[in-house]
């Protein structure tokens, strides 16, 4: 039996691309606090972002000004507005398959 947490998909409603001269840069996802709590995520935590073309590690920022189920991405290659993504907590202590050695 496969172990999976409830993790509904999220919709990308915005994308920010930074420049080398910007003080804040790097892969980031902004999401509503309610959506973060549903996934057991905290502000500043590193998570896996799975998009339609690739996946990568990004930092979570809680932003309650966003509508439920919507996210804004910063510096995430291969993602665009209107994409549907999944965010998964990085947790090396939980096995991918329960009952498998």
Q: What is the mean pLDDT of each run of 10 residues along the chain (101 residues)?
A: 73 95 96 95 94 93 97 93 92 55 43
What does the pLDDT read at residue 78?
85
- Rounded distance between C-alpha atoms, residue 63 and residue 16, angstroms: 15
What does the pLDDT read at residue 6?
77
**What's the CATH class of domain 10-89?**
mainly beta
pTM: 0.83
- CA 90 to mean position of chain CA atoms: 11
Q: Are 94 and 40 in contact (CB under 8 A)?
A: no
37 — phi, psi (to 5°)?
Answer: -60, -40
What does the pLDDT read at residue 79?
87
Domain-by-domain residue ranges, the chain?
10-89
Which regions of the chain does DSSP assign to beta strands (E)? 10-16, 28-31, 46-50, 55-62, 70-74, 84-89
């Amino acid at each position: 039996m496969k172990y999976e947490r409830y993790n509904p998909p999220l919709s990308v409603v915005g994308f920010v691309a930074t420049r080398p001269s910007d003080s804040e840069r790097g892969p980031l996802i902004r999401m509503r606090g309610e959506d973060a709590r549903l996934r057991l995520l905290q502000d500043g935590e590193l998570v896996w972002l799975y998009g339609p073309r690739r996946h990568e590690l990004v930092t979570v920022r809680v932003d309650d000004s966003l509508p439920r189920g919507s996210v804004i991405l910063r510096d995430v290659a291969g993602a665009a507005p209107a994409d549907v993504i999944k965010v998964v907590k990085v947790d090396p202590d939980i096995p991918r398959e329960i009952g498998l050695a």
